[in-house]
Amino acid sequence: MKTVIATKFGGPEVLEVRDVPVPKPREGQVRIKVHAAGLNYADIMQREGLYPNGPKPPFGVGFEVAGTIDAVGSGEIAYKAGDAVMAFCESGYSEYVVADAARLFPKPDSLDFAAAAAVPCQYLTAYHALLTLGNLSAGQTVLLQAAAGGLGTLMVQIAKNVGATVIGTCSSEEKVELLSELGCDHPVNYAKKDFAQEVKRITNGQGCELVVESVAGEVFDKSMRCIKTRGRLITLGAASRQPATVNAIHLLANNLTVSGFHLLAYTVDGEAMAKSLRDLQQWLGEGKLRIVARHQFPLVAAAEAQQFVSDRKSAGKVVLTTGA
Ligand SMILES: NC(=O)c1ccc[n+]([C@@H]2O[C@H](COP(=O)([O-])OP(=O)(O)OC[C@H]3O[C@@H](n4cnc5c(N)ncnc54)[C@H](OP(=O)(O)O)[C@@H]3O)[C@@H](O)[C@H]2O)c1
């Protein structure tokens, strides 16, 4: 089968497509025939050697897939061959993966495989950052950076579903259009307008109750100026590769909270996970959540797909398809 390996840290050219044996599931595992592998920004940061505690090369790239179970290992496993699932796994950019049964979710019928590949990482991050950690509620205003991205397009819709007002930043008019379609109240193309000035104008100088920040550097500093008194900022990424520094005096003077978010700590919280999956089913059923997965690349074009995302050309989810 084909799999994608990062041979060393570096640009997309370090990715190699290799033929390797199909893996065998061990106790408590299943094997999944992959239909779509999710591409996440973390894959790019890992390839560049910039991801905290990331893998050392050579390593199999990718960590989420959607597909069909084709073999089941020993032990008590609540899934069977033929089940359509979404999963966290290692070496996700592959034609087949093995995954722990505890890290699988049944694929909702209403999602095709490409859309389902956005659930393990981007949907769950969007949900738990905004609601479990962020406590976003009706009547509040939230500022979302990279709002037209894979994570961002889901955050916009989840924030609307709980009754918040959404200000979302992005870098092009095409992305502004997508954000409007998804219900974003105030899409801001930061290439044309200063987002901090826009937040000031929209909130009558008050700022937002919640900011979700994934760019770091200058954008982090400016985002800190967009928080309302007693408001909060969640930092969950550093797409600019620049450091972000908190000014303690600004925090105390304005009663602000800054929190870090990493999904892993939430996927082990059974109650929070069950709630996020129930809400997913409900929103899908009510037509209140749409997973935008219009950028699909064949698995063998993984390097091109990653470059496309690095170049900020993507909007919504990007997936690699195996042709299965
Ligand atoms: N902590 C966690 O658990 C967790 C989980 C998932 C994702 N994340 C983070 O959330 C962010 C979004 O992830 P994603 O996979 O959904 O990616 P994405 O948003 O689809 O792609 C990244 C976007 O970031 C924006 N961006 C702003 N400055 C950039 C820069 N200097 N270089 C490249 N892009 C820049 C671009 O949108 P514009 O062109 O519109 O600005 C780009 O499309 C990433 O930073 C990721 O690491 C964190």
The pLDDT of residue 105 is 96
Would the CB of 237 count as within 6 Å of ligand 1? yes
The pLDDT of residue 319 is 98
The pLDDT of residue 31 is 98
H and E: helices and strands count for the chain: 11, 16
Would the CB of 293 count as within 6 Å of ligand 1? no
Over residues 9-62, the pLDDT tens digits come to 999 999 999 999 999 999 999 999 999 999 999 999 999 999 999 999 999 999
The pLDDT of residue 85 is 98
In three-state secondary structure terms, 320 is: strand
Would the CB of 170 count as within 6 Å of ligand 1? yes
Would the CB of 23 count as within 6 Å of ligand 1? no
Backbone angles phi, psi at 220, to 5 degrees: -65, -50
Atom of ligand 1 nearest to the CA of 318: 20
Question: What is the pLDDT averaged over residues 300-308?
Answer: 98
The pLDDT of residue 176 is 98
| Residue-averaged pLDDT of the chain | 98
The pLDDT of residue 70 is 97
Would the CB of 200 count as within 6 Å of ligand 1? no
pLDDT grade for 279, boundaries at 50, 70 and 90? very high
Would the CB of 2 count as within 6 Å of ligand 1? no
The pLDDT of residue 120 is 98
The full DSSP string for 16-75 is: EEEE-PPP---TTEEEEEEEEEEE-HHHHHHHTT-STTPPPSSEE---EEEEEEEEE-SS
Atom of ligand 1 nearest to the CA of 39: 15
pLDDT grade for 202, boundaries at 50, 70 and 90? very high
Distance 238 CA to ligand 1 centre (A): 8
Would the CB of 136 count as within 6 Å of ligand 1? no
- The Cα 311–Cα 317 span in angstroms is 15
Both tokens of 285, joined, read 């059923």
Pocket test for ligand 1, best of 124, 218, 312, 317 (most atoms within 8 A of CB): 312
Q: Are 61 and 302 in contact (CB under 8 A)?
A: yes
Question: What is the pLDDT averaged over residues 230-251?
Answer: 97
Strands (E), the chain: 2-6, 15-19, 29-39, 59-60, 64-72, 84-88, 96-100, 104-106, 141-144, 165-170, 186-189, 208-213, 227-235, 257-260, 295-298, 318-321
The pLDDT of residue 241 is 96
Half-sphere exposure of 216 (CA within 13 A, CB side): 11
Both tokens of 59, joined, read 């390593």
pLDDT grade for 174, boundaries at 50, 70 and 90? very high
pTM: 0.98
pLDDT grade for 189, boundaries at 50, 70 and 90? very high
Q: Are 278 and 253 in contact (CB under 8 A)?
A: no
Distance 237 CA to ligand 1 centre (A): 7
pLDDT grade for 309, boundaries at 50, 70 and 90? very high
Would the CB of 216 count as within 6 Å of ligand 1? no
User: What is the percent of the chain where pLDDT is above 70?
Assistant: 100
Would the CB of 277 count as within 6 Å of ligand 1? no
pLDDT grade for 258, boundaries at 50, 70 and 90? very high
Would the CB of 214 count as within 6 Å of ligand 1? yes
Distance 190 CA to ligand 1 centre (A): 15
The pLDDT of residue 213 is 98
Over residues 51-76, the pLDDT tens digits come to 999 999 999 999 999 999 999 999 99
Question: What is the pLDDT averaged over residues 87-109?
Answer: 97
Question: What is the pLDDT averaged over residues 116-128?
Answer: 98
Pocket test for ligand 1, best of 214, 273, 314 (most atoms within 8 A of CB): 214
Would the CB of 171 count as within 6 Å of ligand 1? yes
Would the CB of 46 count as within 6 Å of ligand 1? no
Atom of ligand 1 nearest to the CA of 238: 45
The pLDDT of residue 208 is 98
The pLDDT of residue 239 is 97
User: What is the percent of the chain where pLDDT is above 90?
Assistant: 100
The pLDDT of residue 75 is 96
| Closest C-alpha to ligand 1, atom 12 | 151
Distance 315 CA to ligand 1 centre (A): 10
Domains (range + CATH), the chain: 2-118+291-321 (3.90.180.10), 122-264 (3.40.50.720)
